[in-house]
Structure 1
């Protein structure tokens, strides 16, 4: 009989890291850095793979927030964003443009930035580029600080 959780290693490994990184980058709370540190300690020889998986999951999570903002902006064009953090994020995205999404990895402000970028009409390709680059730099710096890269 196939033991799917064992095959996918949902309690950890790359698939667990991907899921955790995705969820941590949505509007849900979570910390993918701790998961990455754990995986790097268990598998230091897989640093590039693990950083790539965490970056992909976290970027797709950020893009899910972008997509929610994009949908809300089209569904309710006459309404503003609902809370102060979202309004402040919209102001920042409007002022700085898509490069502000390099900061999407930051706790507290990152998710509202992605949501505001979708709401304000930042195109998908620049959003993906800047969200992914910011998240990759964060995970790379974390792995580098642990001595796993290099």
Structure 2
């Protein structure tokens, strides 16, 4: 898969982004690929006061450390019995266990159909159109990306 294939994802408008992502996922992506959309700045302000996740932390009222990393959504592509399946992953914490997403973000993603896990939220499907729609809504409603051109995009 080439960078040219990633260029087929239209970042010019949300109206063109979703169908071009469907086309990319349906036609241009290979099993084992990882596509990452990320925003330019953290969703949580450094001075945000949140309790660290976990019962012990809540009981001891330990404050959560806020990550300065850029949050995003990774799309992992797998192939099972000849059919592609997709897993979207939105990490809740970075590699240092610092928060990328706050409780409000987690709740909003869960309301959109994401499954909340301790360290990340996941969305699994075999339908490229459904995945593209969920990613678009998540980027707009939760990550507050006003225009797709504001997204970072990496392919691995």
> How does the TM-score come out when normalised to structure 2?
0.25
More strand by share: 2
More helix by share: 1
> How does the TM-score come out when normalised to structure 1?
0.26
